[in-house]
Amino acid sequence: MSLGPRGVWHDWAVEFTVLARAIERLPRGNGRTTSMQLLKSPDHAALVLRARDEARRRIVVTSHRIGLAGRPMVVIPALAAAKAKRVAVELYYGRPTGVLSGVDAARLAAEFQREGVNIKPVHNPRLHAKVLAWGDDTLAITSQNWLSADPAEGALRREIGVLIQSNKVADYLLRRFEHVRHPIS
């Protein structure tokens, strides 16, 4: 993220580093705090397994694209949670990619719906967000296309994101998502 295509540092990378160091030196306030963790490429696969293991009520994923890699990356662990613990699983995507056509995506959705995993296209508004949420309090926002790509193990910063654990953070984002998808007239 900090290097351009020619391997040269971007000016804003330096500015962010200076800003981060200034923030780090600030005294800690008495207000509310939350747990946040930076996610790098290799963290994404483990996070899906964590969601599978920790979810009690729901797992929700949004992905810009759906492709063949989504099946092992997210769909299979989500299916395990749905079957073992009756977790509600909602997977949303904007469009199919690679060799997976729209018809293939619809077949995949029908196949897994019988197993308790709902895979749904979102055309309006255009979906580009990449989110993994479980329960009410755990939310990952990332560059990882959960339903179309495996995270690159060898390229630490190819996919980056942030994991947030805070009271109702996932619930809030998911309610906003549903409001945008189904606005009240």
Distance from chain centroid for Cα 82: 18
Confidence (pLDDT) at 132: 97
What is the tens place of the pLDDT at every residue in 58-96? 999 999 988 876 677 888 899 999 999 999 999 999 988
Of the candidates 148, 163, 167, the residue with the CA atom closest to the CA atom of residue 46: 163
Residue segments in the chain with a per-residue pLDDT below the cut of 70: 1-10, 12-13, 69-70, 151-157, 185
| Count, residues in the chain | 185
Confidence (pLDDT) at 158: 77
Total-model pTM: 0.82
What is the tens place of the pLDDT at every residue in 43-63? 998 999 999 999 999 999 999
Distance CA 73, CA 129 (A): 17
H/E run at residue 184? none
Residue range 34-181 forms a domain whose CATH class is alpha beta
Determine whether 59 is exposed, middle or buried from the number of CB atoms within 10 Å of its CB (0-12, 13-18, 19+).
buried
DSSP 10: P
